Structure formats: structure tokens, C-alpha cells
Amino acid sequence: PVTVHRKDYQPYPYDIPEVALAFDLAPDATEVRCTMQVQRKPGASADAALVLDGEDLELVSVGVNGAALPADSYRLSEHSLALYGLPSSATVEIVSRCKPSANSTLMGLYVSGGNFFTQCEAEGFRRITWFADRPDVMSRYRVTLRAQPEYPVLLSNGNLLATRQLPDGRNEVEWEDPFPKPCYLFALVAGKLTHRETTVKTASGRDVLLQVYSDPGSESKTEWALDSLVRALRWDESRFGLELDLDRFMIVAVHDFNMGAMENKGLNIFNAAYVLADADTATDANYEGIESVIGHEYFHNWTGNRVTCRDWFQLSLKEGLTVFRDQEFSADMMADGMDAAAAASARAVKRIDDVVALRAAQFPEDAGPMAHPIRPESYQEIGNFYTATVYEKGAEVIRMQHTLLGEEGFRAGMDEYFRRHDGQAVTCDDFVAAMESVYVRQHPDRDLSVFRRWYRQAGTPRVNVKLDHDPAARRCTVTLTQECPPVGVERKAGAGYVKAPFHIPFAVGLLDRDGRALPLRHAGAVQDTALLELTQQSQQWVFEDIAERPVPSLLRDFSAPVIVDYGWTNEELALLSAHDSNPFARWEAGQEFATRQILALAEARQAGKTLHAEAAFIETWRALLTDPALDAAYRARALALPSEKTLAERMQQVDPPALAVARDFLRAELGRQLAAEFRQAFDDNQTPGEYSPAPVPAGKRALKNLALSHLMAACELDAPRLAEQQYEKAGNMTDSMAALSALVNFGQGEYPQKALAAFYDKWRDNALVVDKWFALQAAARSTTVQTARELMQHPAFTLRNPNRARSLIFQFCLNNARGMHHPDGTGYAFWAEQVLALDALNPEIAARLARALDNWSRFVPALRTPMQAALQQVRAHAGLSRNVQEIVSKALE
């Protein structure tokens, strides 16, 4: 396989300002006529060939300026078409055919549920027609779609110009997108669809039409999506001054889709899971996810589409920035209409959720064989680099710039970015340069040169904190020291490779022994929180007027994506957990305490000792559970035990079954010792009446259902009866799934299996609910490889639908520690089988699953050996896709 390097970037020798595409759509043979205006760039060599990408296409004809091209003027190879001897400016016309019905990769043009859809990012357009499939070639598109009347809705990017009926009975429509775009933003949709729409006025007073398309019959499930779109549009106007630039903006839901959604210009295509919702079928998490993904794709219209990426190494330019924007959007929506204290708590809840996700997915990635900087230096398959690092760590790197510049400064930097680059394909450096232009105005003695290292160095820095207190001088000295050894590809560079220090904004507070915030004099102000900017390997800060040794509250709001290394005592953690005025750090202290408990329990388990939870920990949890000043949503986060994935990062040798037992023990022990308090929380947080996905009732449900799971795990009081009652009376999917999950995981007798069967019968026609049904079982505590295989035999199971594959196979392999990591190795053999089966259908999805064994070398020896064997088995398979090959070969290197 070929490795592509960032340093090898070359501009394309031609401009392609105009493209006309005409489609004769038919499932088994779609003909595409692509007519492009090409102009050799001023500096390019006169004999530079026009090299176009193509994949799985049948060439019908190629012509230049209206004449067929003689055979010696072009060369067709497996993945490209090169045209030679072109005049400096020419009209090139290529006719080709593809077969959408046979396309199981879901890249390019494909059929789902009898309708046509496209997915082009990153390199899918080349499966539609021969073209310069790279983001720095930007063209204006005019698209003609022709199809039989059984495809009445015909959509593409931009504005609708004309619609007519052809003499042969087919329909024809023409679309035009006025904004030049790279081909990865092209989209078409054709088929039978219903839609919901509304018209809104933009800030500058233009009327724009917003539409959400979905399967006939699903009209009642698109209200939340359309409302979310309106909120996103308003938010981008008010927070960033960015308006919708088209007269029309469409979202289309599709059931077969490789990821969450796609920001095609004016025609977003969405996984139905991120569009369809009603109280009966969608959970609170689904509602939140829909709002956030709709925001994300909408925000791409500026950060991604108007300003796009020069090459795919710059992916985080649009993804990190847009994730940061969607996170802020969600936080603002959650805090909307609340008083200051409630809003701070709501924002902390969002921050906690984002950090939990980062630690569970990105930290392990950054410590494993696929570790890469947010702007990778090389790849074999770009589809493998839509990673937690590029997205979520990328968003953290943007957030740090926001922290360093402040809200106003960041906004000024964004304005400058658009002033400089609107309509261009640019690099991450261009973004930082725009931000830096503001930063240096704020601080004439500083710049972002050290900060830029976040873009080229991988790994999670570890920041060691040393706190010295001098009682005589009433002075406290904080020493920060950072360390980040080479990871992933950096290690191959050899012993000579030296990483330089990062620029780390590190927010700290100090508490006295009664938990009161100490005022800190720092950077010309007196505040509870000081933002320390660590730019060297080690630096010191002095705080005066501190009478006794304080308790430090570190990395408040998670001000940088780093690991903090500080030896708090358990008493100090309990104090922070009860008093820290920073809600994020307060949560963190409890998590650290719980982590220590579970790791100690896992060790005891490995040593065959009896398990025992410390009273001080239980009391800390009791205090959180019963603190009337904390709202339910926050308490649900504060009381949630750290995930097995996060805990695994803290083990020298990862032992998932031991962790699972330890975590389960603590959950049950908390349920036993705090039974009365959990029962109270269960009763106090019922949400009768009409369902609303708003943060306050959703927070109550989260706390109530957490309480239920503890009571069930402990088999306390009449927990099973509570769960059964909740299941039978639930007025929404959140409560019904929570009860069913508690029953399936911790219940006894026949009820759970009967409930599962009834649940399926009730929802068998709703694909998204059936996915939940598979997922719940795949991750259940008692599910073994054997159970997973039986579930695969269910008539509703298919590997071809990514949501279904994710709900069963991925849930089992990624979220079922006991089943997947059984010491007999059968989980790994199952994984290998499924990776190969998926690879034959859909390499992008297969490669995602392949990553489940990334960190095999850090597991206990008994698991490491069969994991390695499974990886080797996959690697040895003939005909692996480039996608899977890259993952397994890097894992084994």
C-alpha cells in the first residue's frame, strides 16, 4: 500500500471552475455525463497531464472541445484517467457508468431502501465520475437529474432551477450551486420521500427555506430535527455573526450510512438515527445527539464549506473547529433560559460529557499504534483518519485557543479567518495565523509558535504538579512539569526524535482546609482561578498570602487535553468533591476517588482477595447523592462510576474482566449501602406528564435511572418490582430502555427474557428501535460469544446495514468486557471473523471494527497472546482492503 505524506503536497496543475453533471439514474446502470471547463494554471507546465481519479467506473467516452479524444491522447488505468496534450483551456466531457445497486461500500452513489443517495467525503466522488478528487479543486456545479417517476423527489446542492417531464415519461430537474466547492461536498438524492419544512428570515432579512426529508410515514418524527436546525441557524448568527448563504437548506435521512451525517453544500445527508425522534422511540441521549449533529453539519457550511481544507492532512481544520462549535452550541442550548448558577452547572454537565468521551476514545488512541497528531503526517487510507484525535482532540486544541484569547478575542480571530480565507482551501496553519494576529495584539510579547506544536506532535502530555508551601512566608509555589514521550508513528523515527514542550493553558484554584476558595493574585487580577500558561518543560508560579498548605484544584474545566499527575490524599479528594467551586473540577475529584477504589478492587480481584469498599468513599458518594444544592443532571454525572475504557488507561496491564468485576462490585456495594438514598432519588426524580427532552427533565431521568441501576445491581428493596413497573408504565423510550437494561443486566427469573421478546414484537418495524434492542443485548453482562452468534441468526440482523452491524457486532466487541475478553480467546476469533466479513462489503466500517484490538500489547499476557493471533489472522487474509490492512499492520508493528 502507498503511504501519502503531508510534505509531498503539490498544487493541482489545472483549475476546473465549472462542472456540469447529468445523471440518468437507474439502480443497475447509472450514466453520468461530466462536462468540465479546465484551465491550466499560469505557472503549470504546458505538458502537465490532466490526471483524474476514478474507481469502479465503466468509461463510455471521453471528448475534448466537442470531439472524441484519439486513443493515444489519454491513458486509462485502474484508478485514474490521464489526458495529454490539452490546450491551456478546454471543455472536457467524460461519460461513464456505475452500478449503484451493487455498491455495498456506501461511498459514491448507492441505493438504500429503494432510493438513491451519495456520500463523497473523503474520496467517494471518484466512484461517481472521473474527476480531480481532492479538496483544493473548487468548482461551480450545475446538476441535471433524470429518473423514472418512481423517484419523484430529485435533489442536489444549491438552488432548484427547473423541473420538467421528459417525453419518455421520466422526470428531469436542474440544480445549481452558486458557491464553488470541492467535489467531496457534492450530493444527490432521488426517491420517494416525505418532508417537513419551514421558512425563516435570516439576520439580514432574507427568507430561507429549511426542509427535512425522510421516509414516507416518518413525518411525525422530524419536528425535533427541523427545530434543531432553526436553533443552529440562529446560534451561528448570534454567536459568530455567520448567516446561511443559500436560499434553501435541506437535510435528508437515510438508513444505510457509514457515519453520523455529511455536510454536503445545502443538502446534508444524515444517518436516520440523527434525524428521527419522538418520545416513544427516541431517548434523551438521542434527542441531544440529533441537536448536536444537526448543529455540527450546519456549522460546517462556514467552517468546512465556505473555507475548506487544502488537503486531507488538514482535516482537523474543519472538524476540530466544527466540533468545538457544536459543543458550544449544545452548551448554550442547555443553559438557555437558566439563572447564572444553573447555567454554570448545565455547561459543566456538557463539558463533563465531552471529556468523558475524549478520555474513553481519544486518550487510548493517543497511547496506541494509531496515535497521530491532529494534523497527521502520513496515511495509507484517509478514511481511517476520521478519528477521535482529529475530531475531539482537534476541538480541544481549538478550545485552548479560545481559552487563551478569550471569547471576544476568539471571535475577532474567527472574523479575521473569514476575512482572509472565505472561498479558499487552506491549512491549519492559516487558522492559527488568524488567531495569532489577535493574540499578539493582546500580548505583544507572546506568540503561538509553541502552541503550534499541538498540530504536529501526538500523545497526551502528562503534567506533574508540585505544590510547596512556606508557612513563615505565607507563600505557595506551584511547579508544573510536562512530559510526553514519543507515541505511535513518532516512535519509528528512532531514538533521535525529540518532542518539544507544548503550550498548555492550565487552570488552577486553591482551597483552604475548610473547602473555601482562596483568592489568587495572578496576571494583574485577584480571582479564584488562575490560568497558568506552561510553555516550557518546567515552570513555577508563586502565590502570596496563603496561610496554610492549600488543596489544589487542578486543570479546571479541563483547560487542556492532558493527564494531571498529583498525589492528592483521599481526604483531599473528598474535600474537593464536596466543596470545589469549579463544578468540573469537583466532578473530577470524585472520579479520581472512584478510580482509585475500582483499581484497588481490580487488584484485589486479581490477587484472589475479598473485595471491600472504603467507608470514606461511600460517604463521599452519599454526600453527592444527597446534596440539595446540586441539580439532578450534575448529580447523575458526579455519581457515575468511571467507564471501563477510562479505567483501563490507568492499568499497567489491562485486564477488562477484572475491571468489570471490580466496577460491578462497587456499583452493587453503593446500591446496598446507599439504598435508602438511591430510593429517595428514584422517587424524587420522576417526570410525570408529557415528555420533554429538555435538560432539566432529562437530568432527572438520568439520576433516577442511575439510582435504579444501583438498586437493581444490589438487589435492594423491591428493585425488580420498581424496574418492572417503570418498564410497563414508561411514557418515553428513555425510561423504558433504562428499565429494560436494568432488568436484563441484573434481573432474575423469566421476566427479562419475556420483556425482551415483547419489546421486539412491539417495535419490529422501527429499525432504530430494533438497533437499540440488539445493542442492549450485545453489551449485556451475561452475553457471551455464543449469545452474540445467536443474535446474528435473528432474521432482523444484517451486516450490510452499518447501524445494525454497530448495534450488535461493535457493541459486543467494544462494550462487552466479559464476553469479548474471555480468556478462551473466542471473542477475538469472533472479532476476526466479523472484520473479514465486513471488509468484503464495506471497508470503512470493517476498519472501524478492526481498531477494537489496537491496544492489544498493553493487555495482560493471557489476553495479549490470543489478541495478537487474531490480528495476525486478519493480516494474513488475502485481498484485505487498504483500510483494514493499514489498521492491522500498524497494530502489529
Residue 276's binding partner among ligand B3K, Zn ion, none (Cβ under 5 to 8 angstroms by kind) is: none
DSSP helix/strand/coil, 519: coil
- Nearest one of 137, 143, 129 to 53, comparing CA atoms: 129
Three-point CA angle 588, 591, 597, nearest 5°? 150
Residue 25's binding partner among Zn ion, ligand B3K, none (Cβ under 5 to 8 angstroms by kind) is: none
Round to whole Å and give the CA distance between 665 and 678: 17
Which residue out of 121, 297, 365, 392 is catalytically annotated?
297
Question: Could you write out the DSSP letters of every residue in 494-505?
Answer: -TT--PPPP-EE
Our CB check for ligand B3K shows the closer of 175 and 386 to be: 386
Our CB check for ligand B3K shows the closer of 308 and 620 to be: 308
Q: Using the rule CB under 6 A, which residue among 15, 55, 93, 121 binds ligand B3K? A: 121
Cα torsion at 144, 145, 148, 153 (round to 10°)? Answer: -130
String marking each residue 280-299 x if it binds ligand B3K according to CB under 6 A: ----------------xx--
Residue 327's binding partner among ligand B3K, Zn ion, none (Cβ under 5 to 8 angstroms by kind) is: none
In the complex, what is the shortest distance from the CB of residue 387 to ligand B3K, in angstroms, rounded to a whole number?
11
Assess whether the previous peptide bond of 122 is cis (omega < 30° from 0).
Answer: yes
In the complex, what is the shortest distance from the CB of residue 849 to ligand B3K, in angstroms, rounded to a whole number?
15
| Residue 558 found at the interface with ligand B3K (CB under 6 A) | no
889 Cβ neighbours under 8 A, 6+ residues apart: 875
- Of 258-266, 332-340, 424-432, 436-444, which segment contacts ligand B3K by CB under 6 A? 258-266
In the complex, what is the shortest distance from the CB of residue 491 to ligand B3K, in angstroms, rounded to a whole number?
27
Residue 17 DSSP one-character state:
E
| Residue 262 found at the interface with ligand B3K (CB under 6 A) | yes
- What cell numbers appear for 707 in the block? 439510582
At 594, which amino acid appears? A
On the 0-12 / 13-18 / 19+ scale of CB atoms within 10 A, 680 is middle
Our CB check for Zn ion shows the closer of 316 and 322 to be: 322
Residue 837's binding partner among Zn ion, ligand B3K, none (Cβ under 5 to 8 angstroms by kind) is: none
Q: Using the rule CB under 6 A, which residue among 259, 342, 518, 796 binds ligand B3K? A: 259
In the complex, what is the shortest distance from the CB of residue 106 to ligand B3K, in angstroms, rounded to a whole number?
10
DSSP helix/strand/coil, 761: helix
In the complex, what is the shortest distance from the CB of residue 270 to ligand B3K, in angstroms, rounded to a whole number?
10
Our CB check for Zn ion shows the closer of 392 and 724 to be: 392
Our CB check for ligand B3K shows the closer of 228 and 784 to be: 228
- Tell me the pairing of strands 139-147 and 14-24: parallel
Residue 386's binding partner among Zn ion, ligand B3K, none (Cβ under 5 to 8 angstroms by kind) is: ligand B3K
Residue 284's binding partner among ligand B3K, Zn ion, none (Cβ under 5 to 8 angstroms by kind) is: none
In the complex, what is the shortest distance from the CB of residue 274 to ligand B3K, in angstroms, rounded to a whole number?
10
Query: How many positions of this chain bind ligand B3K (CB under 6 A)?
Result: 13
Q: Using the rule CB under 6 A, which residue among 122, 294, 706, 719 binds ligand B3K? A: 122
On the 0-12 / 13-18 / 19+ scale of CB atoms within 10 A, 156 is buried
Can you tell me which residue has the cell 414484537?
A: 761
Can you tell me which residue has the cell 444527490?
A: 188
Our CB check for Zn ion shows the closer of 264 and 322 to be: 322
Can you tell me which residue has the cell 508551601?
A: 469
Residues 297-336 close enough to bind ligand B3K by CB under 6 A: 297, 300, 319
Residue 96's binding partner among Zn ion, ligand B3K, none (Cβ under 5 to 8 angstroms by kind) is: none
Helix 583-606 and helix 570-579, axial crossing angle in degrees, nearest 10: 140
Measured from the Cβ of residue 46, the count of other Cβ atoms closer than 10 Å reads: 10
Our CB check for ligand B3K shows the closer of 171 and 881 to be: 881
| Residue 364 found at the interface with ligand B3K (CB under 6 A) | no
Are the C-beta atoms of residues 475 and 542 closer than 8 Å to each other? yes
Our CB check for Zn ion shows the closer of 322 and 803 to be: 322
521 Cβ neighbours under 8 A, 6+ residues apart: 543, 544, 545
- Of 147-155, 193-201, 260-268, 669-677, which segment contacts ligand B3K by CB under 6 A? 260-268
Edge-to-edge strand ranges of the sheet holding 504-511: 530-534, 504-511, 551-554
Instruction: For residue 778, report the phi and psi dihedrals to the nearest 5 degrees.
Output: -60, -35
Q: Is 377 a catalytic residue?
A: no
Q: Using the rule CB under 6 A, which residue among 55, 177, 263, 839 binds ligand B3K? A: 263
Which regions of 746-810 does DSSP assign to beta strands (E)?
Answer: none
In the complex, what is the shortest distance from the CB of residue 125 to Zn ion, in angstroms, rounded to a whole number?
17
On the 0-12 / 13-18 / 19+ scale of CB atoms within 10 A, 397 is buried
Measured from the Cβ of residue 184, the count of other Cβ atoms closer than 10 Å reads: 23
Residues 379-408 close enough to bind ligand B3K by CB under 6 A: 383, 386
Are the C-beta atoms of residues 850 and 882 closer than 8 Å to each other? no
Question: Could you write out the DSSP letters of every residue in 109-137?
Answer: EEEETTEEEEE-TTTTGGGTS-B--STT-
Our CB check for Zn ion shows the closer of 270 and 587 to be: 270
Residue 328's binding partner among Zn ion, ligand B3K, none (Cβ under 5 to 8 angstroms by kind) is: none
Residues 306-345 close enough to bind Zn ion by CB under 5 A: 319, 322
Are the C-beta atoms of residues 176 and 159 closer than 8 Å to each other? yes
Our CB check for ligand B3K shows the closer of 128 and 367 to be: 128
Can you tell me which residue has the cell 504538579?
A: 465
Residue 359 DSSP one-character state:
I
- Of 261-269, 497-505, 530-538, 851-859, which segment contacts ligand B3K by CB under 6 A? 261-269
Residue 253's binding partner among ligand B3K, Zn ion, none (Cβ under 5 to 8 angstroms by kind) is: none
Residues serving a catalytic function are 297
Q: Which spans of this chain sit near ligand B3K (rule: CB under 6 A)? A: 121-122, 259, 261-263, 296-297, 300, 319, 383, 386, 844
**Binding-site ranges for Zn ion (CB under 5 A):** 319, 322
